Amino acid sequence: MFIDRSMTKDVITVSPEDEIAAAQSLLARHRIRHLPVVDEKGILVGIVTDRDIRSAMPSMVLSESEKEDESRRLAFMKVKDIMTRNPVTISPTQTLPDAILMMQKLKMGAFPVVDQDGKLKGIISVRDLMRAFVNVLGLEEKGALIGIVVEDKVGQMKVIVDAITEQGVSIGSILVSRTWEEGKRAVFPYLMTGNIRRVKNRLRELGFTLIDPMEWSLDQLPKK
């Protein structure tokens, strides 16, 4: 799951010398929130967001004359005047988990993807990550998710997979997470069927504890 397989490659960009109004128009027309700023060689020099543009706009609390002054000032401003220089970037050879961790840590919604020479190759956003994981997990296919609490030891996954396939059911994907109990894991197989009763009964016969995936919550996990 490398970034270059899931990033948006046809990136809408602006030049540092473009007017702010032009950048604002691009954001609105393409319904995006981030515009990489590149020079004539395609080298990334900054990024401008919808928030940057909103911050540059005249405040609503100003008087009419002050708003006019601000509007005239804004007409002469360029993208380079409001862009974030040296933005955080990610490499095409990094992975989707790398991007997720970076977004969570830095509270950012997208990263420009650049090669070792600083040339823009794409952009990876939360939307791209969601699309990638929908494809990886097979969620567009009709199926059902079940939750199982297992001992955190070798061999448990094989027992679960064998129990499911013995019922003639295919597995679209399996997620494994920490759970609220020490020494245990929560396993979430996505089954390619809507009839999961036989699978559940078999897992209970084998001694597994089933949980409702809808009741599982990150808030229940122990804080690190």
State mean pLDDT over 177-203: 88
Q: State percent of the chain over pLDDT 90.
A: 58
pLDDT tens sequence across 19-49: 988 998 999 999 999 999 999 999 999 999 9
Both 103 and 196 in a single domain? no
Residue 218 pLDDT exceeds 60: no
Q: Give yes or no: residues 125 and 181 share one domain.
A: no
Task: Tell me the whole-structure pTM to 2 decimals.
Answer: 0.69
pLDDT above 70 coverage of the chain, percent: 87
- Closest by alpha carbon to 102, among 84, 120, 79, 124? 124
CATH number, domain with residue 48: 3.10.580.10
Structure tokens at 221: 């996990």
Task: Report how far apart, in Å, the C-alpha atoms of 96 and of each of 10, 133, 221 are.
Answer: 19, 9, 23
Same-domain pairing of 129 and 152:
no
Of the three residues 115, 134, 153, the one that is the final residue of a domain is 134
Tally of domains within the chain? 2
* Encoded amino acid at 79, one letter: V
CATH number for position 147: 3.30.70.260
